[in-house]
Amino acid sequence: MSTNNKEIRIGFYICHCGTNIAGVVDVDKIREFIAKKDNVVVSRNYKYMCSDPGQELIQKDIQEHRLNRIVVASCSPLLHEKTFRNTLEKAGLNPFYLQMVNVREHVAWVHSDNEKATEKAKALCNAAINRVRYNKPLEKKRVPFHQDVLIIGGGIAGIHSALILASAGKKVYLVEKKPTIGGHMAMFDKTFPTLDCAACILTPKMSAIKENKNVVLWTNSEVIKVEGYVGNFKVTIKRNPRYVREDLCIGCGQCIESCSYKEAKYPDEFNLGLSKRKPIYIPFPQAIPNSAIIDDKTCIHFKMGKCKQMCLSACERNAIDFNQKEELREIQVGAIIVATGFKIYDPQKEPEYGYGVYPNVYTSLEVERLINASGPTAGEVILRDGTKPKSIGIIHCIGSRSEKANKWCSRVCCMYSLKLAYLLKKHTHAEIYNFYIDMRTPGKMYEEFYDRLLMERVHFIRGKVAEVTDISLVKEEEGKLILRVEDTLASVIRRIPVDMVVLSVGLEPSEDTQKLAHILNIGLSAEGFFQERHPKLAPVSTFSEGIFIAGCCQGPKDIPDTVAQAGASAAEAMAMIDAGYFEIEPITAHVLDEFCSGCKSCINICPYSAISYDESKKKVFVNETLCKGCGTCSATCPSGVMKQNLFEDDQILNEIEGLLVYE
């Protein structure tokens, strides 16, 4: 391991980060220790290295002292490596001559013993000095950026992102798994706290999707494969058959009328099974595309193979096509926005609430449909036996803030429970009881809405309901559902008989989140939602460049926050597209040609098929555009001649030695 020591001039800088680092690590001691090392020309400590004066300090030193290697000991390289690389670049030095030491996240913030923390920081800094000698100048690669965008999920987030990008003239593929776009928002009756009708504000946007020439809408479709990289994704989409041609169908409903099933007998997904549909149906009146769909699991033609096919003859536009097959479509896009939303918590996991046992226990989403004028009861709130409830109990935090179920607060339940309390009172004039643990109403006009409800004679009982039961103890309880609860404000155990129970269920990652995370190669947070790149400063980015997340797939949130994230994702994608190119890290692998023995060990190990064998030379070569820089080939090469830029053996071995041997 030799390097021309004479030429190397290292500048070392340790950051105080206010007191974040300097409060634990003895920065003066580190500075003095490093100053004595070979080739170190400048060794300094400074309050904030990332500040302008901090960066100027480095630039000035580079020029005055002819420094050609820089080590900055500060926070995580994941945070400020780009900052300091730019600093080097500004001073005319190749940015890859930088080595960072993480003495904040990995030292100062996790160790309280100052002496031991300083000792560890010393080792880390020593290792960086050792390593930086072997850093080489590298050139960033620019790859052209494909102009089209894929949006996965056609809820309010996907719709909003699509419309923004389309209005900027970008071609958008909007892919939705269900037969219609609209997502959960289309199922809601009113939205809090303004009480404007969800359909009234959503459906114009849904129509705009259909009208917009820049949007290619594929419903009933799923993303099954994503290859390539930022700016150049190759995506395979499976389009499931609808058996009705969207381009011909005008949604007149003649086919549904004439279906061999005279009565609708299958649970209607859109109304959560509270009403029935036929095998051929339109999900809801304002569905986009407003086209019928045949469910091949219930249609007689598909089940038995013999049906009079009345729908076929009823359709004047010949839109019905029993021969449609699933199709695979391949598209090229530059960026991907994931907006796959959420699923509601299944309250059957907690049998004490009686969901699925007592017919008059509903989830909040079912109640949204019951209140809705286009819902199963045309907006009339009636129980399963047709009677109107005279008393209703709304139980908050079902599946949320619980050690048994999900630990997180689902953020929207308090507010939608208040909204449902208001709407149920309007519709039924029943006595309404809200059972809450804490009332959480942060948001514009949210607390005011809670205040209003307090005035509207809705009862609020602070306490987690222990049980919903139909076992009555007194005459007044007979035939009712009794909620047993500790009223923690009055310190009494109460039994409250009601006719109807509403379970305010929490939000969970939607079904295919994990599968999609694998397809897209993006991470999941501990709760199973998609992981953002930084919780505060990169809330819609992921660890895969060019892939963004918006809405509830990132974590529970209300409609305003979802729309804000959707806008942010669109803007972030636009910024990349309009640059026209993307700079990728030059951390790719290359072979030292003369020493390659042609053993081909590396070829099979490469997950991207970036390595090929040259028959004429009897050696391998790396396609640098395909290589993503994992370095696995480098670890495999028995001759040690497969090199990964910035992670070469010399660099890592010297780092190891630097951590262990010093003083």
Partner 1 sequence: MSEQNWEPKIIAFFCNWCTYTAADLAGVSKLSYAPNVKIIRVMCSGRVDPQFVLYAFANGADGVLIGGCHPGDCHYSEGNYKTLRRISLLKKMLTQFGIEDDRMRLEWISGAEGEKVKTVINEMTENIRKLGPLNIPEKFITWDRELEKRNRGSEYKLRV
Binding residues for partner 1 (CB under 8 A):
76-79, 102, 104-107, 109-113, 116-117, 119-120, 123-124, 127, 517-518, 521, 523-526, 531, 543-544, 587, 605, 607-608, 628-632, 634-636, 644, 647, 649, 652-653, 655-657, 659-661
**Number of other residues whose CB lies within 10 A of the CB of residue 438:** 11
304/296 Cα distance (integer angstroms): 11
Query: Shortest distance, CB of residue 116 to partner 1, whole angstroms?
Result: 4
Cβ distance to partner 1 smaller for residue 116 or 308: 116
Q: How near is the Cβ of 19 to partner 1 at its closest, in Å?
A: 14
Place of tokens 């007194």: 474
If the CB atoms of residues 39 and 525 are measured against partner 1, the closer one turns out to be 525
In the complex, least distance from residue 508 CB atom to partner 1, rounded to whole angstroms: 16
310 vs 599, beta carbon nearer partner 1: 599
Which of 106, 343 has the CB closer to partner 1?
Answer: 106
Q: In what order do the strands lie in the sheet with 431-436?
A: 361-363, 500-505, 391-398, 431-436, 459-462
From the centroid of its chain, how far is CA 631?
A: 28
Radius of gyration of the chain (CA): 31
- What is the nearest approach in angstroms of partner 1 to the Cβ of residue 602? 11
Cβ proximity to partner 1, 75 vs 458, nearer residue:
75
Extract the tokens encoding 119: 């000792």
What is the DSSP secondary-structure string of 297-311? TT-HHHHHS----HH
Q: Least distance to partner 1 from the beta carbon of 661, Å? A: 6
CB closer to partner 1, 21 vs 162: 21
* Closest approach of partner 1 to the CB of residue 640, in Å: 8
Cα gap 495→296, rounded to integer Å = 48
**3-class secondary structure for 89-126?**
HHCCCCHHHEEEEECHHHHHCCCCCHHHHHHHHHHHHH
Question: Which residue's entry shows tokens 């609020």?
Answer: 460
What DSSP line would sit under 524-541, residue for residue?
A: B-TTSSBPPSBTTTBTTB
**Cα separation of 566 and 560, whole Å?**
10
DSSP letter, residue 383: -
In the complex, minimum distance from the CB of residue 406 to partner 1, in angstroms, rounded to a whole number: 15
* Alpha carbons 62 and 68: distance in angstroms, whole number: 7
642 near 602, Cβ under 8 Å?
yes
What's the count of helices (H) and strands (E) in the chain, helices before strands? Answer: 17, 34
CB of 659 to partner 1, least distance (A): 5
CB of 247: closest distance to partner 1 in angstroms?
38
Rounded to a whole number of angstroms, the minimum distance from the CB of residue 523 to partner 1 is 5
- Measured from the CB atom, the residue of 122 and 205 that comes closer to partner 1 is 122
Answer for the pair 498, 392: CB distance below 8 angstroms, yes or no: yes
**Shortest Cβ 121–partner 1 spacing (Å):** 9
Structure tokens at 1: 């391991």
Shortest distance in whole angstroms from residue 506 CB to partner 1: 19
Cβ-based nearer residue to partner 1, 4 or 112:
112
Q: Where is 590: in which H helix or E strand?
A: strand 589-591
CA–CA distance, 200 with 472 (Å, rounded to integer): 43
Nearer to partner 1, 446 or 647 (CB): 647
Distance CA 442, CA 456 (A): 20
Nearer to partner 1, 402 or 632 (CB): 632
* All residues at 6 or more sequence positions from 106 whose CB lies less than 8 Å from its CB, including other chains: 76, 124
Q: Is 99 exposed, middle or buried (0-12, 13-18, 19+ CB in 10 A)?
A: buried
SS3 189: coil
The separation between the first and the last C-alpha atoms of the chain, rounded to the nearest angstrom, is 21
Least Cβ distance, residue 546 to partner 1 (angstroms): 14
Nearest to partner 1 of 426, 518 (CB atom): 518
- Would you say 312 and 320 are in contact if contact means Cβ atoms under 8 Å apart? yes
d(CA 211, CA 623): 43
User: How far apart (Å, rounded) are the C-alpha atoms in residues 559 and 446?
Assistant: 13
Alpha helix segments (H runs only) across 133-273: 156-167, 198-211, 254-258
The residues pairing with 43 across neighbouring beta strands, listed in sequence order, are: 12
Q: Give every CB contact of residue 536 below 8 A, 6+ residues apart in sequence.
A: none
What is the nearest approach in angstroms of partner 1 to the Cβ of residue 342? 18
Measured from the CB of residue 587, what is the shortest distance to partner 1 in angstroms?
6
Cα dihedral: 448, 452, 454, 459 (round 10): -120
Q: How far apart are CA 224 and CA 217, in angstroms?
A: 17
Q: Which is nearer to partner 1, 433 or 582 (CB)?
A: 582
Sign of CA dihedral 109, 115, 116, 117: positive
Q: Which of 218, 275, 208 is nearest to 246 (CA)?
A: 218
Amino acid at 382: I
Provide, rounded to whole angstroms, the least separation between the CB of residue 45 and partner 1.
20
> Smaller CB distance to partner 1: residue 247 or 663?
663
Q: How near is the Cβ of 613 to partner 1 at its closest, in Å?
A: 19
